[in-house]
Amino acid sequence: MPNSQLMAVMFMVLSMLSYQISASFAKQLIAILDPLTVVTLRLCFAAILIVLMFRSWSIMKRLPHLKWKDLLSYTAALCLMNILFYASLGKLPQGIAVGLEFLGPLTLALLSIKQRRDYIWVGLAILGIALMVPWHQANATNFSFLGAAFAVSAGACWALYIYFGQKVVRQNIGMHALSIAIVISALVLLPISATHNPTALMQTEYWPKALLIALLATTIPYALDLMALKRLSKLSYGTLSSLSPALAALAGWLLLKEQISMWQTLALVCIMIASVGVTFRAKQQSDDAI
């Protein structure tokens, strides 16, 4: 592997680790505050960081001319995805929450593949879901059906985020679309969170940790992803992204002392293999179409 590609792979892995470490820290904060407060604090700090990072004030003159229907749909998907994912973190081990959330973009990718032989990836994804749930223990300590519903719903929002993101890209405003989405999400959630739990929101001793979460979940991953994308193909990027559930489980184990069962570990493996398989098949079909 050329040095530039090796560096890109390292950037990708570091980006995913940064995000999963942020999720572990967020879960620790959720235990003290609540998911909505943590999401609000993270997005408020992230809004400041991302605007400074991309100098998004330069887009101000173009705001009246943007297609706001797509942009607001993209923003709503991002906002709900964050709320639902953090709600799932409060009820599930991190690896399981990320694994179930990952089914959203995986399903979107599966829908783009038409050949019957590719049903093997659908089968693996379904098997992953089936193995994830401890059917014989409805009240298992490391599984919550409500948490699973939150995680799957977050995945659906992730799929919508990708779908509307592809439409927003056509407006040719680059990463400023993300800045707009995060700023609007923060502005919407701030009064809601202030009404829901004003005491928690104003506990300034937790703001430094919220700022760290925003830094690890926003600024660092996006910066590393941008450097990685300059050197990696879409195939390599998609394949490496499939490691997210495993890295989430690792972060949960190291930072939160979370344990998942052997069957749930196998479930994560099935979901990751399905993701890698879909990525390869989608790339192959794209090449055949050229």
DSSP assignments along 164-185, one per residue: HHHHHHTT--TTHHHHHHHHHH
**pLDDT at 123 exceeding the cut of 70:** yes
Among 192, 277, 195, 286, CA closest to 238: 277
**pLDDT at 134 exceeding the cut of 90:** no
Please write the tens of the pLDDT for every residue from 41-91.
999 999 999 999 888 888 888 888 788 898 999 999 999 999 999 999 999
Q: Residues 190-215: what's their mean pLDDT?
A: 92
Averaged pLDDT of the chain: 84
Q: Which long-range contacts (CB under 8 A, 24 or more apart) does 230-238 make?
A: 230/8, 231/4, 231/5, 231/7, 231/8, 232/5, 232/8, 232/9, 232/12, 233/283, 234/283, 235/279, 235/280, 235/283, 236/5, 236/8, 236/9, 237/12, 238/275, 238/279, 238/282, 238/283
Report the C-alpha dihedral over residues 241, 245, 250, 251, rounded to 10 degrees.
Answer: 80
Please write the tens of the pLDDT for every residue from 10-41.
888 888 899 999 999 999 999 999 999 999 99
End-to-end CA separation in angstroms for the chain:
26
pLDDT of residue 193: 93
Contact assessment for residue 134 and residue 261, using Cβ atoms and an 8 Å cutoff? yes
pLDDT of residue 236: 65
* CA–CA gap between residue 271 and residue 156 (Å, rounded): 16
